[in-house]
Chains A and B, each alone.
Chain A
Amino acid sequence: MSAEPADVIVVGAGGAGAVIAKRLAERGAQVVCLEQGDWVDRQKLPKAHLDWEVRGRRYWAANPNVRRWPSDYPVASFGDNPIDVYIYNAVGGSTIGFAGNYWRFAPSDFRMRSLDGVGVDWPLTYEELEPFYDVNEREVGVAGLAGDPCGPPRRPTLLPPAPVGRPGRLLIDAYERLGWYWWPTEQAITTVPYNGRSPCDHRSYCPFGCPNGSLGTTDVTYWPKALKLGVRLITNARVRSLTLDSRGRAQGAIYHDSEGRVHEIKARVVVLCGGGLGTPRLLMLSDSSRHPHGLANSSGQVGRNLIVHVQSFAVGRFDDPVEGWHGTWGGSVSTRQFYETDPSRDYVRGFIMSGVGGYSPLNLALQLAPWGPDHHDVLDRYLNHEVCMYLCGDDIPEEINRIELDWEHTDAIGMPGVKTFYRLGENSQRLGADMIRRARQVLEAAGARSVRDFGLSPIWGWHLMGTARMGDDPAASVVDRHNQAHDVPNLYIADSSSLPTGGGVNPTSTIQALAARCAEHIWDARRDWRGAE
């Protein structure tokens, strides 16, 4: 342990932590990042191997209960609609298993309470976050096209849109027949050489790793630059608790290394970026006499308001082959036709629908093909004849949806796992039903012979948000508009847990823009924390 405190400790090297670390380091801050996982061995990315589907079900499994990396902690799921949690604990965090859908939130996403009378408003506006969307997109490399009438005007996106392939063309034809809006999906994928990264070579199935390095996972976007700027990244550092000094200011962290040895590290500022489960878990583990219900939890909101998005897939089967094996998995073309609240519908808020490719052979066999004499006939009917649509809608935060510590199931060193409790609210159920109905309408307009869908339960836990939410009122939120904890002035929480609402789109772009904004504030406030010693 160094006696001299770092300027900033960042806990978590994922989507948000990487942004914070890099941006503060380039301003001149001394940054240490503690990551409980390790670097992913790129030789072991599933898609570097022909049997990638099998590898994806084993050591690359998205559910930590299956994957069981040394860095993982168990997650148990309860409630009326239990969550099938998908998270990764590694350098890059859960971006290493994402598909690259990279939407900005709409201005109305920041005003749910004011516009729709439910949920909460953000304490900031789209316009306040917009410059940081720009900054982050330049860093990540985003494919897309400016001019989408379903979003506010913006500067031209940097990289050309990804090819849409035959599945995309089928959906475009459907949208044109229906007279609906559609647009190429924005994706954190380099479609041309960019910042030393290769252009996408269209291998699809992006969540199984991108050996090409085109997918914007933070281990290939932010971290190489952050390390060059001098960020000290300590991997396999499992933080046990955050520490406070006698004045109640954050002082640092206690962590276990890969051998289980205990270390303490100090800093002037602590930034927590453990994600929607990891962040509240660590706050709860950092309780003390001063913070008996968990650090920064005077509001009682730590671990509450878990939001996950209303998600499903609809899959159309076509008579002709669809060549659904290539392109980008995240989405070729999408529609925000139903994104904004429409008083004629029986719910508020809305959803997106993104065209995807077709399911791969093993996955499809596991879904549909019976064993025995009919096996091949069924497989043949669907393989290369299906186009998938990913559906994602807004989820209204409710206090009852929450996480708790799970002392019955612990990680490799005896720290508690997490219990999630989730119930899909009435509005979300109605929204989800309409979302699926509309997707069926698109696929039928595209000429699908039949359409199947995956319903709404169990809940896909890909987007875990809201569990340390931001707000102006310290009695109802954990952090303020700058991601600064209401209760601990030099503690910041700058990840998905700070999102008060989740919009109706994949959240990584917004999480990273928010992290960039938070880093700016931390640097602007350096007189406070440098003079606070």
Chain B
Amino acid sequence: MAYDRRQTDVGIPQEGGGGPYRDYRFEVAHAEVPVGVPRTFKVLDPQRAASLRGWVECLVPARRGRPSAAEVGAAEYIDATVHSASGLRETLLRAIDRLQALAGDAGGGGFATADLGERTRAVRALELEDRSGAFDMVRDFTYEAYYAHPVVLAALQRDLGWDAVAPTRGGGMEAFDESLLQRVKSLPARYKEVR
């Protein structure tokens, strides 16, 4: 038994897997981008970088002591990932440009400077029309950058009691109490004898 989510919204990763676009997952295996490391943009120009920051903030906004995705460097993480996985660059660049255009269509003065509500409407429009896989890619990368970041993990522990450090450091647990089996031990055998 392994561990992964059921890919209900994404097909099985295979070449020619039937989707309308090439699955971003094929490109990222060797893109080793540690989360939580301060970094600057390498692929995106300042305008696109600002737009991507605005985009990831829409995906995971700040709330009551929890930072937004932009505040924990999700945009820089995405930039670093597509820097390592160059096959994804064009997809990202086109999507950012389209998002800027959608914001302009909505009558705004530019996506990056629009308020959160306007940006969210533009992102929603992009999600609905996207056939390139860019939206799913940016959403998933944003979640990666967010839910592996030490600041966010500390907030989850504080708010929800989820100990996110335990999987890397371990910890003590109460031993199994065999007396709990008293009833089951009294039951008859339940396997089929085979002669």
A residues whose Cβ falls under 8 Å from a Cβ of B: 47-59, 61-63, 65-69, 74-77, 82-84, 86, 97-99, 101, 106-108, 110-111, 115, 125-126, 145, 147, 149-152, 160-165, 172, 176, 181-184, 201-208, 211-212, 311, 313, 321, 323, 325-327, 329-331, 336-337, 339-341, 354, 359-363, 365-367, 369, 371-373, 375-376, 380, 383-384, 390, 392, 409, 454-455, 458, 460, 462, 506
Contacts and interface: CB of A to CB of B under 8 A. Distances in A.
A65 B1 contact: no
Interface string B38-80: 0000000000000000000011110100100000000000000
Interface in B6-56: 6-8, 12-16, 25-26, 28-36
Interface of B: 1-8, 12-16, 25-26, 28-36, 58-61, 63, 66, 120, 123-124, 139-140, 142-144, 146-148, 150, 152-153, 156, 159-176, 178, 180-181, 183-185, 187-194
Contacts, number: 256
A161 B174 CA distance: 11
A40 B193 CA distance: 42
Given A66-B25, A111-B194, 17 more contacts: A49-B168, A50-B148, A52-B148, A53-B144, A54-B35, A54-B148, A58-B30, A59-B29, A69-B29, A145-B181, A149-B184, A149-B187, A149-B190, A162-B176, A172-B180, A361-B156, A390-B1
B167 A160 contact: no
Contacts of A165: 173-174
Contact of B191 (A152, A205, A363): A152
Contact of B59 (A53, A360, A371): A371
Contacts of A373: 61, 120
Contacts of B193: 107
B168 A48 contact: yes
Contacts of A371: 58-60, 123, 139, 142
Given A68-B29, A202-B172, A313-B6, A372 B61 contact: yes
24 contacts: A49-B168, A50-B148, A50-B168, A59-B29, A59-B32, A65-B13, A65-B14, A106-B192, A162-B176, A202-B166, A207-B3, A326-B163, A326-B166, A339-B190, A340-B191, A360-B164, A361-B147, A361-B153, A361-B162, A365-B147, A372-B123, A373-B120, A384-B162, A460-B2
B166 A325 contact: yes
Nearest to B124: A372
B173 A163 contact: yes
